[in-house]
Amino acid sequence: MKLDRDSYGSVALAWLIGIVLTVPVFLLFRSPWVRWPVFAIVLVLVLWQTLFFRVPRRHRAGGARSVVSVADGKVVIVEKVFEPKYLDRECIQISVYMNFFDVHANFWPVDGEVVYYQYYPGEHFLAFKPKASEENEHSCVGVRTPFGKEIVFKQLAGGFARRIVCYARKGLAVKGGEQCGIIKFGSRIDMYVPLDARICVKVGDQVRACETVLAEL
């Protein structure tokens, strides 16, 4: 199993806390009815934290004009909006909400070149709320495809997320399906595609990063 390269410290801290919580219980209590339930609970929590930071192997779906999902999760928004950060025009927003049990590694949605990147500090409202898109802490990335189409996506921190990792930098050549970062704990991805894109998902759909096509350009 591959772990996110920026999360080794978080995983190590989870295991350290697990050991610190478990060892005193084994030293202070002789009863197996105390020792082993505590051990089991701590082990489950530590393993969950470890799996949370995994980077699964995925095969990219679709073709050159397919926009694949950046993240695992549930589609919570599909609507026409005005994107002011980079595109400065109306487009279609597709938002995917990640809960605590979804893989939180993020992946490039298309092949192309990063033409815009900006980090925005902000609030930490629950990620499924509409105002989270503008007011929450987020990174915003614009990518231009080899055939000239431009898309934008945001990594939004949620009510519990406190760190966004994004590998984008202006001028970087990217390949759809490769890891582009990670958001730690519950969060959301907002994708903005051109109005003439064919949308392939609807609100309520469960999607998987790389393996679900959100739109065709």
Evaluate whether 135 touches 158 at the Cβ level (below 8 Å): no
Query: Three-state SS across 117-152?
Result: EEEECCECCCCCCCCHHHHECEEEEEEECCCCCEEE
Q: Which of 7, 69, 95, 187 is catalytic?
A: 187
What's the longest Cα–Cα distance across the chain? Answer: 68
Asked about 187 being catalytic, the answer comes back as yes
Evaluate whether 163 touches 195 at the Cβ level (below 8 Å): no
Helices 32-52 and 8-28, packing angle to 10 deg: 180
Question: Cα–Cα distance between 161 and 137 in angstroms, integer?
Answer: 9
Active site residues: 187
